[in-house]
Amino acid sequence: MPEKIPGLSRLRELIGQSENIVFFGGAGVSTESGIPDFRSQDGLYRQEWDYPPEEIVSHSFFTQKTQEFYRFYRQKMLWLEAEPNAAHRGLARLEREGKLLSVVTQNIDGLHQAAGSRRVWELHGSVHRNRCLACGREFSVRFVKEAQGIPRCPCGGIVKPEVVLYEEGLDSAVLQGAAEDIAQAGLLIIGGTSLGVYPAAGLINYYRGEELVVINRSPTPRDAQATLLLTAPIGEVFQALWEGERAAAVRAYLEENLPESYTASPLFALKIQEKEKTCSAEILLDMLADGSRYAAFGEDDDMMLAELEADYLLSIVLKDLPAPTDLLLRMRFEKEEIRVERKWGSRLGTLTYGTARMTVSFEEE
């Protein structure tokens, strides 16, 4: 059977056999969280802005036309409601597992840290760090976002975001840290960047490893050197990696630890997004027993994940619980809550998924 994303199984192998992985990413990682590239110019751009974005986001423009800089900055570069996507979360997970050494990012949105990554080299700074140019006092991004006109410190000084503007140099300590990590990387994964911004893109030259992975929807200058090239959106790649790995782990655990009588006994069938999924009792038990916050729905490679709130599991699954409850389980899939409820003793229950509500039937042993 062909892979849904060509090259995914090889990527999984490389991650599995590698240590000190470094990820080098750019704007494409953030666009999948709904953050557009500030350099993009649609048909309406010229109706509102008299200068190209690269000129507006320059040191000269900041000093000479400060108020216009902040009008652009707030509208085009501050996306405070954006949330980490599967790529951010997958990289944070690899770091927790001891596989990922660091993330080197050209983005300034802080989404890697929001997802849980700790070692992040922010080549171009961060919107979350802002400082008064006169006294050095620090301010939150909310202060800059909500200020009228030019944000000012109580001392009267201008509050400037610690992002690297055109005509400004990159932080030498950040550059050195990123270069050292890339030089000692066992695997370098480049994702969501066309590698067209220098000096950041030049850091790739420090890599000395044998395997180079490029994940990008459009061509990059490093494609010819890549030992693995994936042209799918990077969020989809990491989502597929995570789901496939979890599904394999669940199957392996069940085969080794549970009697055969459990494997053909689905607790209930439910329908999400017009696709039939089966949730087996033993999968829920497995996920709860090992302390995981996740449950797996489906069979074989056709699995999806939901985040469990593990206290909500009915005695139909854990038959030695002292008292029955109407709430079978509660979990999250993507950003929506899933609730499965039924009256005790009834064969029918209800599934609530976001705003959708449907009837589900239960099959007991």
Burial class of residue 121 (count of CB atoms within 10 Å of its CB; 0-12, 13-18, 19+): buried
φ and ψ at residue 357, rounded to 5 degrees: -140, 130
Of 59, 88, 112, 124, the catalytic one is: 124
In this structure, are residues 180 and 156 in contact, taking their beta carbons and an 8 Å threshold?
A: no
Sign of CA dihedral 48, 54, 58, 60: negative
Q: Using CA atoms, how far apart are residues 43 and 165, in angstroms rounded to an integer?
A: 25
Q: Residue 216: what residue type?
A: N
In this structure, are residues 303 and 252 in contact, taking their beta carbons and an 8 Å threshold?
A: no
124 catalytic per annotation: yes
Structure tokens at 337: 């809550």
Say which residues have a Cβ less than 8 Å from residue 95's Cβ, sequence separation at least 6.
102, 103, 116, 117, 118, 119
In this structure, are residues 237 and 192 in contact, taking their beta carbons and an 8 Å threshold?
A: no
CB atoms within 10 A of CB 152: 16
In sequence order, what are the beta bridge partners of 25? 105, 191
List active site positions: 124
